[in-house]
Amino acid sequence: MLESIGNPDDLKKLAAERLPQLADEIREFLVSEVSRTGGHLGPNLGVVELSIALHRVFDSPNDPIVFDTGHQSYVHKILTGRRDFSKLRRQGGLSGYPSRAESEHDFVENSHASTALSYADGMAKAHQLRGRSDRTVVAVIGDGALTGGMAWEALNNIAGGRNRRLVIVVNDNGRSYSPTIGGVADHLATLRMTQGYEQVLDLAKSAINRAPVVGPPIYDALHGLKKGLKDAIQPQIMFEDLGLKYLGPIDGHDEQAVEHALRRARDFGGPVIVHCLTSKGKGYAPAENHEEDQFHAPGAFDVETGEQQAKPGLKWTSVFSEEMVKLGGEREDLVAITAAMLHPTGLAPFADAYPERTYDVGIAEQHAATSAAGLAMGGMHPVIAVYSTFLNRCFDQVLLDVALHRQGVTFCLDRAGVTGDDGPSHNGMWDLSLLQIVPNLALAVPRDAARLRELLREAVAVDDGPTVLRYPKGPVVEQIDAVEHAGSMDVLRRSAREEADTPAAADDAARSDLLLVAVGAMAQTCCEVADRLADQGIGVTVIDPRWVKPLDPALLDEAARHRVVAVVEDNGRVGAVGDAVARTLRDADIDIPVRTFGIAQEFLDHAKRDAILADMGLSPQHLARKLIGIVSHHTEEESRTDEPAQ
């Protein structure tokens, strides 16, 4: 049956009694395809019936459907004609999120949470202004995303547009990655437990039927009826007091019930919340039984057992996780903060060991940063573990709430640099640029596991300003030991330059050709480049600054001993470490050319990290070829300058 669905119109033609079979086929398809590529399986197994109902009731793309977050859009993709999942999240294949380049049915490339309601508010206003009274905007938001402050800013504005056609579908499975926490979660939990008037009345009737004509059971039944009715009505007040019509809770796996509710919401003519209860991982036992995250985003796995293919090597996240537990045992003032990502950021072991010192604030990075400042003011040292791309969301708080007040807060940025698979919104390629402009902030970039451990310890020892530690996704590179030290920096390679038979040879004996500044995980690449250049007779020094903000003054002395300085980093080139190095040399009146090798300032399509770095010219072979040309050019320029006048 699935093969007969090429677009939503095909879906609308199906008889209602055939939809359960279609749902089964979609689940089978998802499990089979995602088992080969990895991807967000659990969230999509939970929205099969809901997605079917959405496309049977609404007319996409005339009725825009916006997903928050976009990882629950796989079924939407299938129903809108995109069934080739063979390269899901791989170069040239489907994105793991909605993609405007893929389909007219995708409006928002939404993989950062709590934003869909704002998009929907704007679309509904535009439809109203342009007289499109026949169009309805639909926002599908997970309960986890409702913990974000931006969602409530949007609700506050949506409530003011009583005549705007906007349907908010709350896909409530009680989880983001892990169980959703906080007051909003508690409120939704209360709603989940409310089964409506019918079940309350059935309970009362059952008690009465079993009871004598008079007696305590009658009073117990009446008391239960009164309490049940109160529970059925009272929890809706929060939404309805905002001026939002509320429908629910509805079994999100009963396609006909969801359709009925969505049609009522569509025809209401104003903003409506439809509260659907779903189960993450629905229909696939290994996902349903996976306690940590219900197969939120597994790698490739065995369909029969659910066993995931283990990836070799120690992970950066694991190194951070282990060191945090050790530090927690040494320092009672150390606290950990996560924004709904306890397991992905590696804080779960710390939470197990020190639950009273672990805070999950939900998808609320802004609150996390300022709350951390308050904790620091109270004498604690908070460590906020967050993906690099999500730090963008709380830049103002880092700048004015933490740094301005010189509070000792440590931000640990996982998935920094190129992450690849999840596409443009998840590449952590902005932090080195954003954080360079923050006063009082120190920024460290470890090159290997040993440096991650030591730099984390150095970072949490700072109590008069914020510190930041950033590290990439995936396995840790092989340990690279320093051959010597320059101030706080590590010298990883130092090769002598072959003597050149030029008039300046004697004066240049103490100068080398190239100072290669290796930022973090790019150190291994830089060492490979240095070895290639040394084979060509080029003198190269590779330095790992360790702390890239502020830069160690010893860098000036090292730079002065070289003809050219090159900086290699996996961040956007504008305003990052390369620019900081160039500015530092200019300020010291050191006239040495500086070249920066980093990521172009563009949104990168999804692909593997290595492939993206190669495309950006950050492979050892490409860098070596480029640097040989640069060094040769400057050597020739110096030679011409030193030639005697004719």
Rounded Cα–Cα distance for residues 172 and 524 (Å) = 45
Binding-site residues from annotation for Mg(2+): 143, 173
Instruction: Decide if 282 is catalytic.
Output: no
Known active-site residue 602: no
Annotated binding site for thiamine diphosphate: 71, 111-113, 144-145, 173, 284, 365
pLDDT in the model for residue 185: 57
- Tokens representing 395? 């830049």
Q: Taking the chain (646 residues) in consecutive chunks of 10 residues, what is each chunk's mean pLDDT?
A: 93 95 96 92 94 97 93 94 92 90 89 89 94 94 87 89 90 68 59 50 54 52 52 56 84 94 94 93 89 82 87 90 98 96 95 97 94 97 96 96 98 93 85 97 98 98 98 91 96 78 47 93 96 94 98 96 96 96 96 94 87 91 94 75 54
- Which residues, in sequence order, are bridge partners of residue 467? 410, 442
Contacts of 58 (CB under 8 A, 6+ apart): 65, 136, 138, 262, 266
Taking the model in full, what pTM does it have? 0.85
Could you tell me the end-to-end alpha-carbon distance of the chain, in angstroms, rounded to an integer? Answer: 86
Report all structural domains of the chain as residue ranges with CATH numbers, in order of start: 2-193+242-288 (3.40.50.970), 316-470 (3.40.50.970), 490-638 (3.40.50.920)
Cis before 472 (ω within 30): no
Q: Which residues pair with 573 in a beta bridge?
A: none
Residue of 365, 458, 558, 569 marked active site? 365
Is-catalytic flag, 280? yes
User: What was the pLDDT predicted at 210?
Assistant: 58
Maximum pairwise Cα distance, the chain: 125
Among the options 56, 77, 245, 393, which is catalytic?
393
Provide DSSP, 179-247: B--SHHHHHHHHHHH---HHHHHHHHHHHHHHS-SSSHHHHHHHHHHHHHHHHHHGGGHHHHHTT-EEE
What is the Cα gyration radius of the chain? Answer: 29
Question: Strand pairing of 442-444 and 467-470?
Answer: parallel
- What six digits make up the tokens of 54? 């959405």
Tell me the C-alpha distance between 167 and 273, whole Å: 6
Which pLDDT score, from 0 to 100, does residue 211 have? 55
- Catalytic residue chosen out of the listed positions 90, 165, 245, 280: 280
* Tokens matching residue 238: 């929060």
Q: Note whether 504 and 639 are within 8 A (CB).
A: yes
CA–CA separation, 185 and 180 (whole Å): 6
